[in-house]
Structure 1
Amino acid sequence: MATMVSLRSIRASRWLVALYVLAAMGLAAAQSPSAPQPAKGPERTINEWLMRMHEAARMRSYAGTFVVSSNAGAMSSARIWRACDAEQQLERVETLTGAPDAGTGHGSG
């Protein structure tokens, strides 16, 4: 019986040492000075951000998934494709939640 108790305490001690080592390694990694820092860009005003978004919408082609969720927990998503240049814009929106639905749009810049 005494042997069984001492084996259990040795195993428990090993687990505690292993957990301590893992925790110390995690702490050291979190405090590492070589961790990448986010790039600092120029500070922009609200008007500059709005103009940047407006120009991007007129001049850039993109494809992506747009997801919206409400405070009540409802969520909806759509796949959006947009191709444009300085003169023309073509957009397709396909809903991914609910009944299947798709729409296309064509306009000028």
Structure 2
Amino acid sequence: LDVFFAIHDPTTPNRQGNDVGPQYRSVIFALSAEQLASARSKIAAAALEWSAPIVTELIATFDEYGQPITTNEARFWPAEAEHHNYFKRNPSQGYCAFVVAPKVMKARAAFAALMA
């Protein structure tokens, strides 16, 4: 969650940088009650760090018994194959070079212990 909040703007609904649309929204899919509680806590902490309201959605993917739910809202849809490892496969593409690379470098520096 620390990395998640460090590498994107959780205050812009349906947008990250120049990319606009619901597929660019800030959202956390919690797989358990523990993850849900951790995410709620992190969202509350983030609200103290940002001047604009946090718009990160929090979606539980389980019911009150801990069983998976299959509504479209709770369902995680993997990206199409052409998006998988896009940065790794296209490091010199403009967006990757000028937007993604600095974010990756920032995350690697800030979270080196997690990425070792």
Short-chain TM bin: under 0.3
Bigger relative CO (Cα 8 Å, ≥ 6 apart): 2
TM-score, normalised to structure 2's length?
A: 0.24
Q: TM-score, normalised by structure 1?
A: 0.25
The structure with the larger Rg is 1
